[in-house]
Structure 1
Amino acid sequence: MDSILFIIGIIGNIISVLLFISPSKTFWRIVRSGSTEEFEAAPYVFTLLNALLWLYYGLTKPDGLLIATVNGFGAVMEAIYVVLFIVYAADHATRIKAAKLAAALDIGGFGIVFAATTFAISELDLRIMVIGMICACLNVLMYGSPLAAMKTVITTKSVEFMPFFLSFFLFLNGGIWATYAVLDRDIFLGIPNGIGFILGSIQLIIYVIYMNSKVSHSSNETGEDGWQASDPLLASNA
């Protein structure tokens, strides 16, 4: 059972890494253009907080090495995205807004959780439970973020706002980590990723239904480099 759990965890790590690097195309576009254009910083700031909290959970849990390693990588990637967003912000107001949001959530928010659970909770099992509950709640919100995209697809009858590979990897990521959680009897890892698996399945079904529909004329124009302003910003993680 331990070997099966390890293999599933490795597969989950690989899928999660693919999710973490998926926004790199968008940021390459931002660096090339020298501007964040109309993109929002919030998805990256929230994903960085999510990765930091899961990293803390993995380091706190005795057998959480696989959880810690992938989210450690994710935290590094998301931190790079946040820094690049601040550096290439379209204007001063956007830069200040992104910096304040990152300071409040990624530094302040994580710092409060870390300090409260480290110094106020001495019992390890209780500390793991509290961190796990916080991580699970945040992860449910992260997996719920594509709901707006699904509504847009149904309204416009176009899948341009919901790229296939992002939906596919969300589906795989939720499924593999939910399986890992069942075998490891980890309810905090299982609930949000089970929900993620369900939402990912719904996204794929919606994609198949509308994949042959005409592209909505309300979308942004595709640039000469082949990128669209509707490219995904958020990569959910384990």
Structure 2
Amino acid sequence: MVSASIARNVICMIVVRVWNPTFYKIIKKKAVEEFKPDPYIVTALNCALWVFYRMPFVRPNSLLGAPSNGIGLVLEFVYLAIFFAYASKEGRKKVALYLTIEVIFFTAVVLVTMLALHGTTQRSLIVGVLGNILNVMMSVSPLTIMAKVIKTKSVKYMPFWLSLANFLNGLCWTTYALIHPFDIYILISNSIGAVSGLVQLILYACYCYRGENNDDNSHYIPRDVET
């Protein structure tokens, strides 16, 4: 079980690290241009929720899955700090406002879970459902990119390695959810993510021979690592 958890965490970190080229470009140009902070803000909240979900007082016997989300949360704040440093005044206000709302929401979830809900069954239900809502939203977010691939017959904005990492990530966590102890909350969103990643790989196989792909993944918004 420990070795399986390490493998899942490694794949999750691959999914997170492939976002980095976007921020290399921001630092190099010293401007955020048309890049949006929204997916990183949502991902930070998602990681925070799943770290909380993994705590023994919410979901017993699932602490091994916390490292990937904890590291992901730290990296998201690093990305947002870079974005904040090079954004315009209006962009900084937007990031600050959204993060404030996010902190208030997360604090409210923690307080309600710990003070109003009694027992791990109720707590894991509420936190798991909230995490699944965010995960499903991220799982289907590549649909617009896939539609663009079909329309343009080019995989320019859908990098192969990111699609592969997303597929393996969803597959690993789906397998984990099916192994004792069975976890329906992790199963739902990650099985959708695995299917989404598989469809992306199929599209890539169909259109990559046209030779129009490049390393520009700045317009591609991947799903979150795990749950």
The range that moved more, 70-79 or 113-122, is 113-122
- 1:118-153 deviation digits (Å, cap 9, x = unpaired): 111122221111111111121111111111110111
Structure 1 position 33 matched with structure 2 position 21:
no
Gaps of 5+ in 1: 217-221
Measured at CA, do residues 234 and 86 of structure 1 come closer, stay the same or move farther in structure 2, by a change above 3 Å?
farther
Measured at CA, do residues 134 and 229 of structure 1 come closer, stay the same or move farther in structure 2, by a change above 3 Å?
closer
Match among 196, 199, 202 for residue 196 of structure 2: 199
Measured at CA, do residues 100 and 237 of structure 1 come closer, stay the same or move farther in structure 2, by a change above 3 Å?
same
- 1:52-95 deviation digits (Å, cap 9, x = unpaired): 00000011322122221110111100111112111111x21122
Within a 5 Å distance, the mapping from 1:137-216 to structure 2 comes to: 137-183=133-179, 184-213=181-210, 215=212
Q: CA deviation at 1:229?
A: 6.8
Give SS of 1:212's match.
Answer: helix
Q: CA deviation at 1:214?
A: 5.5
- Say how many residue pairs are matched: 223
Q: Which residue number corresponds to residue 60 of structure 2?
A: 62
Once residues 230 and 16 of structure 1 are traced to their aligned partners in structure 2, the CA distance between those partners, rounded to angstroms, is 19
- 1:202-238 deviation digits (Å, cap 9, x = unpaired): 000011001122639xxxxx8xxxx647354545211
Contact residue 41 and residue 85 of structure 1 kept, 8 A: yes
Once residues 79 and 159 of structure 2 are traced to their aligned partners in structure 1, the CA distance between those partners, rounded to angstroms, is 20
Contact residue 142 and residue 220 of structure 2 kept, 8 A: no
Contact residue 26 and residue 233 of structure 1 kept, 8 A: no
Q: Which residue number corresponds to residue 219 of structure 1?
A: none
Contact residue 21 and residue 217 of structure 2 kept, 8 A: no
Give the aligned residue type for 1:186. Answer: D
Give SS of 1:87's match.
Answer: helix
Measured at CA, do residues 234 and 104 of structure 1 come closer, stay the same or move farther in structure 2, by a change above 3 Å?
farther
- 1:188-214 deviation digits (Å, cap 9, x = unpaired): 011100111111100000110011226
Contact residue 9 and residue 177 of structure 1 kept, 8 A: no
Gaps of 5+ in 2: none
Once residues 117 and 78 of structure 1 are traced to their aligned partners in structure 2, the CA distance between those partners, rounded to angstroms, is 24
Q: CA deviation at 1:104?
A: 1.3
Once residues 147 and 102 of structure 1 are traced to their aligned partners in structure 2, the CA distance between those partners, rounded to angstroms, is 26
Give the aligned residue type for 1:236. Answer: D
Q: Which residue number corresponds to residue 42 of structure 2?
A: 46
Contact residue 160 and residue 201 of structure 2 kept, 8 A: yes
Structure 1 position 99 matched with structure 2 position 96:
yes
Give the aligned residue type for 1:178. Answer: T
Once residues 12 and 88 of structure 1 are traced to their aligned partners in structure 2, the CA distance between those partners, rounded to angstroms, is 33
Give SS of 2:197's match.
Answer: helix
Contact residue 135 and residue 223 of structure 2 kept, 8 A: no
Give the aligned residue type for 1:58. Answer: R
Runs of 4+ in 1 over 3 A off after TM superposition: 227-235
Please report the TM-score for the alignment, with normalisation by the length of structure 1: 0.88
The range that moved more, 23-32 or 228-237, is 228-237
Question: Aligned-pair RMSD on alpha carbons?
Answer: 1.7
Contact residue 23 and residue 232 of structure 1 kept, 8 A: no
Please report the TM-score for the alignment, with normalisation by the length of structure 2: 0.92
Give the aligned residue type for 1:92. Answer: K
